[in-house]
Structure 1
Amino acid sequence: MKVEPHIIRRYLDGTGKKDDKEKIISWFSGSQTVTELRQGYKNYWNEMTDSLEVEGYNEEKILGRIYHQIKIEESKFPEKPAQRKYTQRVITIFTKVAALLFIPLTIFILLNKDHLVSTDSDVAWSEIYAPMGTRAKFSLPDGSTGYLNAGSSIRVPNVFKGKSREIALTGEAYFDVISNPHKPFVVSGKNIRVVALGTSFNVEAYPEDQINKVTLVKGKVEVFGEKNNKSKSLGLLSPGEMCVFNSTQSSSEFVRVDASKIISWKDGKLVFINEPFPEVVKKLNRRYSVNIVIEDERLNNYSYLATFEDETLEETFNLLKLSAPIEIREHEREKKPDGSYGEKKIEFYFKN
């Protein structure tokens, strides 16, 4: 299905017709090649350049604006059960687009009344989600800002009531917190909690990982380990320190790190500091929205020291093969019953 640039223009301007959103989603869903997507983007860019007041063709800006607008509409009202599958399909489509283009998409989100979802209580909340292959930049009600890494989400009240500013995190996020000595800023993950007053720090707390990490850039934070509904203080972090908490063993250690490298993901960089091969694969899966499977355990003995920024997935693979005997087999995406496509499966074998 072909969508003319003027349809996307009027949709983003708020002057579109009732079925414009469905047409745009169908276009994304039906575009199966990078060539199709890039050409569609470029046609739209040529129409929009004057109103955007920027120079140069920018795929991230186009995809980010469309994604943002759709998510605003989806979050205005609580979802009914029948709508959840539709919303998930939207997320899947945009994840696929970012993955096909191999761009670490950044979505810019400002929390306001258009994002709020009502609950049964008198407090409305917002949930911001960065699908695999994307990043999301956000601004919170108190003026604090931050970034969400791929496959991460935060849940935020529209107003910080009570004695603290509570944020629920799934995945990895960087926070630049506005100082308020009378109202601590609290970030809670599945197994870890961070309490700050005014500071900049990074929290890595993916629910599937037993290792949680908190890195302090500036200021001071206190880190708590959570297990069996019990909270235990792990200590205070100083700038340039990382707290590594093993939730399975309930053990922790504080180590000195280069904080600028730890948080470089928010600027589109992928930094490996002598990381084991399984950790490298995990980060590649999140960044490029693919399903890489290690088929030979011998590869787990390798570690990497490298920095990737603008490389495509293919270029990244070529660089990895310079440091380890890797043979790569790629499979085509499988089409799902709802018409969307699953993640691309890629197998890593030991090359003899």
Structure 2
Amino acid sequence: MKDHIKKVFKAGKAENAGWDDRQEMLSLFHQPGMEFDLKDHLLKDLYKTELKDMDSPNLKKLFNRIWCKIELKNHQAGSKTKYLYTAIGIAAALVIGLFVGIYINSLQTKPETVYYAAHSPKGSVSEVILPDGTVIFLNADSRVRYAMEGENGIREVFLTGEAWFDVAKNPDKPFVVHTSFYDVQVTGTQFNVKAYETDNEVVTTLEEGQVIIQSSEKLKLAEDIILKPGEQAVLSMSSKEFTIRNVNTKWFTSWKDNKLIFINTNLKELVVLLERRYGVEIEVLNKEILGLHFDGTIKNESIIEIMEIMKKALPISYKISGQQIEIASKK
């Protein structure tokens, strides 16, 4: 009987075990006549088991703790003989449950990737530090979902909105930023990705290192686009074409330092930026003024101070009611 159990377990636990071998092994647990020999086999096998998966419980230590607790109760009990059979039954039952659970779990495919999320609401800028040391600044109304062990073992981030990255170097584990439009792959560098779904452009700005813009499910590129420091890739959502240009990167990354720089920014774009930064809703009553352009820098000013600056620089008037702002042409 014991030799038969040993033979069935050996075949069922083998890496190349077939479905029939595994079914035969599991069927042993449903045969009352084999209960004692089966428990005895599991108890012996338990002490020899060393699990390779570090995330799995240490059954040897766990069983020792269970046994010690039972022994403690034994000193308080009257009948040692009665205790012995009870203890073996309790311990074996626990072992069987643990063994079956872990074994069945081992038959499953690779566990799904665990993702973590971070969100920066309107009116705020958030900083996220990943376990590998990578630093992410999230601009207003932005969110990321990230995993340090993503598909194929890579580090990956899914971005909606705008984020600045300082990626910890690890040549053996690439870092990929997924946007709704294309992917950005790096090993260690500083760059900014602006990918709001409501914007007309998706913009990647490189400060240090190198990034590679790659195809995604939504956008197929003829070839990868490699950026050098000081370069910016702009994808037009209407034409689906890229423009590569040299820029002063600070104009596009200063927001993480709580500063916005506007260079010939039209009022339509300015309204969107102010809504995100201050968490307000802005309505422009006269559409003809949307083409007005504004130059300036915002750092610690309140929304009222900003509106006063704009009022002096542009032919506009405004009215604030709670979180609502109306902008009209100056009469």
TM tier, shorter chain? 0.5 to 0.7
1:127 and 2:106 are equivalent in the alignment? no
Partner of 1:164: 154
Q: Percent of aligned pairs with the same residue?
A: 33
Greater helix fraction, Structure 1 or Structure 2: 2
Q: How far apart, in 1, do the equivalents of 2:324 and 2:111 lie?
A: 43
Please give the per-residue CA displacement for 1:230-288, whole angstroms capped at 9, x wherever unaligned: 45545111111110101231111011111122111001001111111111110000000
Partner of 2:238: 248
Q: Does structure 2 retain, via aligned residues, the 8 Å contact 1:192–1:212?
A: no
Secondary structure at 1:162 match in 2: helix
Counterparts in 2 of 1:229 and 1:243: CA distance versus 1, 3 Å? closer
1:209 and 2:199 are equivalent in the alignment? yes
Partner of 2:293: 303
Partner of 1:277: 267
Partner of 1:106: none
Counterparts in 2 of 1:250 and 1:229: CA distance versus 1, 3 Å? closer
Q: How far apart, in 1, do the equivalents of 2:244 and 2:128 lie?
A: 29
Q: Does structure 2 retain, via aligned residues, the 8 Å contact 1:129–1:151?
A: yes
1:349 and 2:301 are equivalent in the alignment? no
Secondary structure at 1:245 match in 2: strand
Q: How far apart, in 1, do the equivalents of 2:116 and 2:125 lie?
A: 17
Secondary structure at 1:263 match in 2: helix
Q: How far apart, in 2, do the equivalents of 1:226 and 1:162 lie?
A: 16
Q: How far apart, in 2, do the equivalents of 1:291 and 1:225 lie?
A: 35
Q: Which amino acid aligns with 2:116?
A: S
Partner of 1:95: none
Secondary structure at 1:321 match in 2: helix
Q: How far apart, in 2, do the equivalents of 1:202 and 1:248 lie?
A: 22
- For the aligned residue pairs, the C-alpha RMSD in angstroms reads 1.9
Give structure 2 stretches of 5+ with no counterpart. Answer: 1-109
Q: How far apart, in 2, do the equivalents of 1:203 and 1:131 lie?
A: 17
1:185 and 2:175 are equivalent in the alignment? yes
Written as runs of structure 1 = structure 2, the 5 A alignment for 1:309-348 is 309-332=299-322, 344-348=323-327
Written as runs of structure 1 = structure 2, the 5 A alignment for 1:63-212 is 121-157=111-147, 159-160=149-150, 162-212=152-202
Written as runs of structure 1 = structure 2, the 5 A alignment for 1:262-273 is 262-273=252-263
Q: How far apart, in 2, do the equivalents of 1:252 and 1:328 lie?
A: 37
The count of aligned residue pairs is 222
Q: How far apart, in 1, do the equivalents of 2:270 and 2:204 lie?
A: 19
Please give the per-residue CA displacement for 1:136-160, whole angstroms capped at 9, x wherever unaligned: 1011122111200000000012545
Please give the per-residue CA displacement for 1:23-47, whole angstroms capped at 9, x wherever unaligned: xxxxxxxxxxxxxxxxxxxxxxxxx
Secondary structure at 1:322 match in 2: helix
Give structure 1 stretches of 5+ with no counterpart. Answer: 1-119, 333-343
Please give the per-residue CA displacement for 1:56-100, whole angstroms capped at 9, x wherever unaligned: xxxxxxxxxxxxxxxxxxxxxxxxxxxxxxxxxxxxxxxxxxxxx
Partner of 1:290: 280
Counterparts in 2 of 1:244 and 1:229: CA distance versus 1, 3 Å? closer
Counterparts in 2 of 1:287 and 1:247: CA distance versus 1, 3 Å? same
Q: How far apart, in 2, do the equivalents of 1:183 and 1:198 lie?
A: 10
Larger radius of gyration: 2
Q: Does structure 1 retain, via aligned residues, the 8 Å contact 2:148–2:155?
A: no
Q: How far apart, in 2, do the equivalents of 1:234 and 1:272 lie?
A: 30
Q: Does structure 1 retain, via aligned residues, the 8 Å contact 2:113–2:150?
A: no
TM-score (norm 1): 0.60
